[in-house]
Structure 1
Amino acid sequence: MPAGGRPTVRSRRLGAALKRYRHAAKLDQPQAAEVISASQTRVSRIESGHVTARPLEIREMLKAYGVHDPAIRKKLEDLAKNANRRGWWLEHAAHLRADYLDHICLEDDATFIREWQPALIPGLLQIPAYAEAVIRSAPAFIDPDRVPKLVKVREDRQTKIQEREGAAEYTAIIWEPVIIHPVVEIGIFQEQLAHILEVSKRQNVTLQVLPISAGVKATMPSAFSCFSFDSEPVVEAVTLDNLRGSSILEATEDLTAYSLAFDQLRSAALAPEASRRLIRGILRSSKEDAK
């Protein structure tokens, strides 16, 4: 059972996958319960992530749902096995919201991360000084003693997109005003632009700028991130930013909608090299204006 009775991100992902396969097989929960000789309540709790399915239950369910791919079975069994595995971020759990912990868990498991950010430099690309400035300016009061801890967590998250084994393929689309109008002190802003130019050279990182001229595309909803967990970039979870934190979407129709939204943004954005040229020009102009 997930620790404390609260569904973990991995137990929810497992339950959501089993639910999708059950729906595809056109079976209801009572029929699924018969397959594993359990109650409908257990199936419901497995699908909601409140209970982690046992390997035998997973095998029997997939068999009944007509899913015979051994790779899928292994993936779901691994999710079950690791449902309660501790991650590095839990060392900071006392200082982080539960929804932020869930976001970090998704990020840490992901093979592909795609992010749209219309207001700030994405957290995975922020330098410590920029991160500290935006954390301190958050609408909700943050105890000053927590700020260095939150900055450290943001730095630790960035190892996920470093060029190493287990790194994610990362694509970030940033709206042009984010790199034109500094929201931090000018020296920090210049250092931040130089940093994202450097990070964008990595083989696993793609950075694109959505120009103001894209018009209505730039009215896309608030920041969101799409996560994939296999060798193909099929969106399996989405997190949305909001004033109180973030929320996770896992329903098929939501995943399809945000996958399409990201593809539309990417098509309207400048190509990676054109994006870098734009950022270099803005950085150069900023330095000239500061003389």
Structure 2
Amino acid sequence: MPGAHTPNMRARWLGELLRELREAKGVTSKAAAQYLERSPGTMSRYESGEYPIRRADLLALIDFYGVPDPAQRDRMFKLREESWKTDWWDDYADDVDEPFIDYVWLEQRAHQIKVVDNWRVPGLLQHPSYTAAVLEIVEADSDPTQRARWAELRQARQHRLDQEDPPAVQAIVDEAVLYRPIGGPEVMAEQLRHLQALSERPKIDIRVLPLRSAAPLSGMFTLFSLGEPFPADVACIETLVGARYVEAPNVQQVVQAYNRLWAIAQDLGAPDALIAEALKEYT
């Protein structure tokens, strides 16, 4: 169910930049608010990202704080534009928790997506029948109409892979996922054939971490690599109580963990053979 309002990621990034600039200039929040002829509460909401800043106010603050670098000014205006922009995924804002809209936004903006999953096939790589089966398990108490809405969102996210310039996707899937009979033999056969087809695409690389590997594959997380004006890397770690986003400098720990797993999967896993072998279980 949707939760309480939280700032979108782009507005929060811009708010942090504004606060850093203000503090570096030695200006109080109250003084900045007076300069804008806004209330202190409005200034606080701008800096927290709770309310995306208006263009005129951003221009005024950039001048007030003395930001001469054209690249930095341009970055801040691009962040402001992104914080106000709406797109197709906002139509699903009432169907999911607000932080998940940030996840979809990251998928649509990233030039590289790296995902690790030890329980299921990652969402971007799921066949529609597999998605329906997963949702029947994890959202068993939800209304079927709502589950169908979530499935629709998941399929809409996958259109990103069919665009003219899709992101590079690297997925590490635990071998046990291939044998976990979600939805039954027919659904699993469809899903594994779907993985085989996807793996033939030049920008999709699927690796299977074999059961014989001693490498720990605990949990599920995704790494998004972004271009300017956004941070270089953002990680999303899935937990029982919701998603946790990790940014610099702590995101480097996630990057390193992923790189270790990827190296092991490359050394030990022959993904085509492992997927083909698992497919025999369902056909």
Task: Identify the residue that residue 254 of structure 1 maps to in structure 2.
Answer: 250
- Show the counterpart of 1:277: 273
Q: 1:209 to 1:32 in 2, by over 3 A?
A: farther
Name the SS for the 1:269 alignment partner: helix
- Of the candidates 222, 225, 228, which is equivalent to residue 225 of structure 2? 228
Task: Give the 5 Å matches for 1:1-291.
Answer: 6-16=6-16, 22=20, 29=23, 31=25, 33=27, 38=32, 45-53=45-53, 54-55=58-59, 57-58=61-62, 63=67, 68=69, 70=71, 73-138=73-138, 141-165=141-165, 167-218=166-217, 220=218, 222-230=219-227, 235-250=232-247, 252-270=248-266, 274-283=270-279, 285-287=280-282, 290=283
How big is the shift at 1:189?
Answer: 0.2
TM-score, length-scaled by structure 2: 0.81
CA contact (8 A) 1:226 1:235 kept: no
Gaps of 5+ in 2: 34-39
- Asked if structure 2 preserves the Cα contact closer than 8 Å seen for 1:115 and 1:173, the reply is yes
Root-mean-square deviation (CA), in Å? Answer: 3.3
How has the CA–CA distance of structure 1 residues 31 and 138 changed in structure 2, closer, same or farther, with 3 Å as cutoff?
Answer: same
Residues 8 and 215 from structure 1, CA distance in 2 versus in 1: closer, same or farther, beyond 3 angstroms? same
Q: Residue 149 of structure 1 aligns to which amino acid in structure 2?
A: R
Q: Which amino acid aligns with 2:82?
A: N
Aligned length: 270
- State the SS of the aligned residue for 2:152: helix
Cα distance, 1:32 vs structure 2 = 5.5
Is the 2:52–2:84 Cα contact (8 Å) retained in structure 1? no
Tell me the secondary structure at the aligned position of residue 173 of structure 1.
strand
* Aligned partner letter, 1:212: L
**Kindly, what percent of the aligned residue pairs are identical?**
25
Q: Which amino acid aligns with 1:247?
A: R
The answer (yes or no) to whether the contact 2:12–2:49 under 8 Å persists in 1 is: yes
Distance apart, 1:30 and its partner CA? 6.2
5+ residue gaps, structure 1: none
C-alpha deviation, 1:62, in angstroms: 8.4
Matched residues in 2 for 1:69 and 1:117: separation?
41
